[in-house]
Amino acid sequence: MRNYNRSTTYRRCGRALMVSGLISTAMLPATLTAQADSVRDTTHSQKQAPFFTHKDAILAGLFAGATILATPFDKRAAIELQDSATQANHFFKNASTGVELIASPGAYVIGGAMYAVGRLGGYDRLADLGLHGTEAVFFAQSVTFMLKGTIGRSRPFLTGGKDPDDFHPGRGFSSGNWSSFPSGHTSTAFAAAAAVTNETTRWWPHSTWIVGPLMYGGATAVGLSRMYHNKHWASDVALGAAIGTFSGRKVVAYQHGHPGNRLDQLLLRTSVVPDGHGGGLLAVTLPFP
């Protein structure tokens, strides 16, 4: 009997991993495209390109496809991941909790800390990374909040993972139980991943193939953890990944394409310097092309 129970547990965990793998595979082409585009965009960073390009249209199409592909797995994934054997797995339980904390509130704490250390220590790139990463997360969360409230999709735990089509438009603004679509943790994680990948690629183009897989892989783990905790459907995670990736990419592209923008001038270029008479002066450092 003991061997039977153990084999049953392994089989159920295997099914849960298979469903999670299918969802991750659905998002893989889009994340790889975003990663490859960051290299090409940096290579041509000296040219003024349109803010939205045909690459963005392709990326949007891939993410839309990933969301559609994930939809048929909403119910199956929720049921498999909530199986008692899967939920009893200590590795899944501990890992899923850890990656969620890294995403939120971790993204805000880490981004703010990098900005503060960069400004106080004179590490311009670190401050730049911290600020733009945090901006990307805030932007992604703003978009996600509006969609959550407007669409009003019920969370999986309300129906035992059996009704992914339970929508109450507008109800998401008044109750968190109907704010499932899209996943906020996932959009936060992918916004941070995209911002960090694109920022570091500007300094060191070859780092994309090191930083990108680590960041996007971690972001995918966050999305899967939200499903494991029965807070989101598979398609919630796919759309959250799309919102986050676009937020990170476009915030970084805009800020570096407009180095004289007021926010960067205020938070990155402004500092107080001694005036030689015991007082201080507000100084602005202008970037050179």
Q: What is the pTM of this model?
A: 0.81
pLDDT of residue 38: 59
Determine the Cα angle at 216 with ends 107 and 83, to 5°.
Answer: 90
pLDDT of residue 133: 94
Q: Which residues have C-beta within 8 Å of that of residue 117, sequence separation ≥ 6?
A: 123, 126, 127, 130
How many other C-beta atoms can be found within 10 angstroms of the C-beta atom of residue 142? 13
Nearest in space to 33 (alpha carbons), one of 51, 60, 68: 60
pLDDT of residue 55: 80
Q: Which residues pair with 141 in a beta bridge?
A: none
Q: Which amino acid is at 203?
A: W
Q: Can you tell me the distance from the alpha carbon of 108 to that of 85, in angstroms, rounded to the nearest whole number? A: 34
pLDDT of residue 207: 82
Query: Domains in the chain, start-ordered, CATH in brackets?
Result: 2-44+54-83+93-270 (1.20.144)
Q: Can you tell me the distance from the alpha carbon of 232 to that of 109, in angstroms, rounded to the nearest whole number? A: 24
Cβ atoms 164, 156 nearer than 8 A: yes
| Mean pLDDT per 10-residue segment, the chain (289 residues) | 52 56 58 60 52 79 86 88 80 81 88 91 90 95 96 94 92 95 95 93 85 90 92 94 93 84 75 48 45
pLDDT of residue 117: 92
pLDDT of residue 7: 60
